[in-house]
Amino acid sequence: MTFYEKYLELCASVDKTPSGAALEMGLSKPTVNRWKNGGGITDATARKVAAYFGVPVDCLTRETDDPAPEQKEKAPQSDVDRLMEGLNAESIRKLREYAELLLLGQEKEEKKP
């Protein structure tokens, strides 16, 4: 299963169009078209998409014939998942942005000699 096929399934699982979900993540419609035409995805964008849908990054980036995440047995909720349930859309967007900043900072620290 390609990244785009997984992306379509994840969008359907949350009742969003591919373009609509991308726009909510701060991505453009042409980005979605590039994925549709077989274009790759950057690591930063993969993290953003994974965070939006609440799935592991490797679930999106490795090609597989595994069923979609919603068809697999659901893992127990983490503390973060439980906290997010009480947040409105704007707060979730801010939390995702903060998480992305934390990841970028962590990667920079790991690359230091």
Q: Which pLDDT value is given to residue 82? A: 66
Structure tokens at 36: 């549709």
Q: State mean pLDDT over 103-109.
A: 76
Return d(Cα 47, Cα 107) in angstroms, integer. Answer: 12
pLDDT over 70 (residue 94): yes
Question: What is the tens place of the pLDDT at every residue in 28-70?
Answer: 999 999 999 988 888 889 889 988 988 888 888 776 555 444 4
Average pLDDT, the chain: 79
pTM here is 0.56
Q: State mean pLDDT over 10-25.
A: 92
